[in-house]
Amino acid sequence: MSDAPAAGVVLPPRDLDPNLPPELGLYQVLADDGSARAVTQPAIDPTITLRAYRYIKLLRLLDARMILLQRQGRVGFYGACTGQEATPIGTALALAEQDWVFQALRESSIMLVRGMRLSTYLCQIFGNAGDVLKGRQMPSHMSSRAVKQVSWGSCIGTQLPQAVGTAWAAKLRGDRSVATVAFVGDGGTSEPDFHNALNFAGVYKAPCVIICQNNQFAISVRPERQTASATYAIKGRAYGVPSLRVDGNDVLAVYHAVAQALERARGGEGPTFIETLTYRIGAHSTSDDPSRYRSQEEVDAWAARDPLTRVRAHLVHTGLLDDERDELLEHELNAEIGAAIAEAEAFGPPDRATLFDDVYAELPWNLAEQKRELMALPPVPVAHGAGH
């Protein structure tokens, strides 16, 4: 069999010259050949590696379950992170408690790593009475003040100026401990907000980290139709923002790069821009069929560098994991997910009176009248778990 890819198949880069500048190179900790070797040796506590594996695995299993629930009509929409888990999980493990996160579509899971209960997280996906957002947001557009994560607005890119502004505000207040982290997809880099945010962050040295998950697609649009730049990371250079490209399928590389960027931010050195090079193994969302625009051969080539198998191989290699412990973990995680779904789905829909909350301190007369009329109506029967 020839090693040459079929025409049009985009394969992951290999054997990049280690002397390339960081915006053009590819920072790795784990080798990408499945050998489980570490190619660089940052001192990473093994408990971080074990937590990274646990959460990537949780997210992989959770995404699969959520897609099934969506297909069954129990969830309205879902944006999976399959194949890209190393970016949110590696980042989450590098954050300090006081940091704020401004997510795009595929980073809600950071809230789980930062302590949100799985059933509370799922209540947001169901949009029910247990949801801290009162059922007002789409699944995968979640947030929680308790874990300092801000909801995504769905307009790609708007979260970036918000994150830079929040970082700048912390700096103006003289609080050196807070940094913000914002995410954007490769498609989002074509939005004006991306450029506004990077420019402002660079000029005012805002303590933030902006992370572009280059998953090779903006729905069906590929990087070569998105940019003529050699990499996304190089765009940061134009704004005077230190930038680097990281292997987004290597959770230890993401963790280490983000931890260093956060340290720079807290040290008063300003922003960092990180491109994490990865691949969206799943569909764009539950409303997409990727077989219309890419081949299975390409998906398989990237799947061979799966972030889950890579960190697993490393843990086995270093004696921290074996098949038996892994099976036990999988069993535990599936049980945890099953119990959390049952707990979350037991909630009914949000109380209709909450429709009038959180906008006015005192309801204007016309809304007060509408509320009275709505509350006088008989209850609407809602099929259990199918109100979406």
Ligand X SMILES: Cc1ncc(C[n+]2csc(CCOP(=O)(O)OP(=O)(O)O)c2C)c(N)n1
Active site residues: 280, 284, 293
Q: How many residues bind ligand X (CB under 6 A)?
A: 17
Is 223 one of the binding residues for ligand X (CB under 6 A)? no
- Of the candidates 155, 342, 353, 374, which one interacts with ligand X according to CB under 6 A? 155
Is 99 one of the binding residues for ligand X (CB under 6 A)? no
Shortest distance (Å) from residue 237 CB to ligand X: 21
Is 294 one of the binding residues for ligand X (CB under 6 A)? no
Shortest distance (Å) from residue 187 CB to ligand X: 3
Amino acid of residue 34: G
- Of the candidates 74, 106, 245, 310, which one interacts with ligand X according to CB under 6 A? 106
**Contact residues for 229 (Cβ-Cβ < 8 A; gap 6+):** 235
The partner residues of 27 in beta bridges, in order of sequence, read 246
Is 219 one of the binding residues for ligand X (CB under 6 A)? yes
CA distance 179 to 166: 9
Shortest distance (Å) from residue 348 CB to ligand X: 30
**What is 346-375 written as a DSSP string?**
TS-PPPGGGGGSSS-SS--HHHHHHHHHHH
Is 185 one of the binding residues for ligand X (CB under 6 A)? yes
Chain centroid, CA 267 distance in Å: 25
- Of the candidates 27, 217, 255, 347, which one interacts with ligand X according to CB under 6 A? 217
- Of the candidates 35, 40, 98, 154, which one interacts with ligand X according to CB under 6 A? 154
Chain centroid, CA 118 distance in Å: 16
Is 133 one of the binding residues for ligand X (CB under 6 A)? no
Selected range binding ligand X among 215-223, 299-307, 325-333, 366-374, rule: CB under 6 A: 215-223
**Burial of 377 (C-beta count, 10 Å sphere; 0-12/13-18/19+):** exposed
**Contact residues for 89 (Cβ-Cβ < 8 A; gap 6+):** 52, 55, 56, 59, 109, 110, 113, 251, 254
Nearer to ligand X, 56 or 321 (CB): 56
- Of the candidates 56, 75, 142, 156, which one interacts with ligand X according to CB under 6 A? 156
**What is 184-207 written as a DSSP string?**
EETGGGGSHHHHHHHHHHHHHT-S
Is 186 one of the binding residues for ligand X (CB under 6 A)? yes
Other Cβ atoms within 10 Å of 102 Cβ, number: 30
- Of the candidates 218, 254, 258, 341, which one interacts with ligand X according to CB under 6 A? 218
Binding site for ligand X (CB under 6 A): 105-106, 154-156, 185-188, 191, 213, 215, 217-219, 280, 284
